[in-house]
Amino acid sequence: MKKNWSLLFQLFWVFFKIGPVTFGGGYAMIPLIEREVVKKRKWVEIEEVSDMFALSGTAPGAIAVNAATFIGHKIAGVRGAIAAMIGVLLPTFLIVMLLNIIFVSFEGNPHVKAAFLGIRAAVVALIAYAAIKIARTSILDKSTFILMIVMVIMMLVFHWHPIFVIVTGALLGIMIVKVKELMNIPVRLDHNPEKNKESIYDVPNEEMRT
């Protein structure tokens, strides 16, 4: 029983520490989740984090809250989901209240404006880093690389909604696998060489990273 409560507190505390980063958007928390949840505590694999964030983007509500809930549930069931959700929400609530007080009091202060300018730039760096980390576990071959490029174009040029992008990506992913199976082309579903035999059509992992 004590072990269960200890795990729940750890979940709460981990996401309480991660929570302050979520003001830049849920994806900004991926580097911290990787460090705290994947590398330090080894609760889940980085591939699972990528999948959970994909699911979080399709569900209603804030991505940060959805991701924390998914990860908490994966680790400790319903109680874990609640602990992680409270952990990620509480610091966000406190910070927003504090920022509101500061902003109202010093709205015209150039130092405050400069601080927010720096924060926005730092958040862009966090999101870019998170995108690179996810790409390393999600871009498996030429087909997934082309799919990524197409989805980026759809968002930038045609302004597709993120949910539409994710749903379309899922459908195209299924179609790609089915076509490869019909053509007897080996299918790669992850980077683990023990689980997938590399096809001559696949782009080597090192090449995709350059």
Q: Which of 46-50, 90-94, 118-122, 147-151 is most confident?
A: 147-151
117-147 burial, b at 16+ Cβ within 10 Å, e below that, comes to eeeeeebeebbeebeebbeebbbbbebbeeb
Query: Which of 75-79, 82-86, 115-119 is predicted with the least confidence, judged by mean pLDDT?
Result: 115-119
Q: What average pLDDT does this structure show over 48-61?
A: 77
Report which residue type is found at 161.
H
3-state helix, strand, coil in the chain (%, to 5): 80, 0, 20
What are the residue ranges spanned by the domains of the chain?
1-138, 140-210
pLDDT at 192: 57
Q: What average pLDDT does this structure show over 24-36?
A: 77
37 DSSP 8-state letter: I
Contact 56, 26 (CB under 8 A): yes
Q: How much is the pTM?
A: 0.60
Q: Is 197 exposed, middle or buried (0-12, 13-18, 19+ CB in 10 A)?
A: exposed
Does residue 49 register a pLDDT over 90?
no
The Cα–Cα gap between 58 and 72 comes to 18
Q: What average pLDDT does this structure show over 168-173?
A: 91
Contacts with 185 (C-beta within 8 Å, 6 or more apart), sequence order: 199, 201
Tens-place pLDDT, residues 129-170: 878 877 877 787 888 899 999 999 999 999 998 888 888 998
Contact 136, 47 (CB under 8 A): no
Extract the tokens encoding 80. 């874990």
How wide is the angle at C-alpha 106 spanned by C-alphas 101 and 107, nearest 5°?
95
Q: How many CB atoms lie within 10 A of CB 91?
A: 18
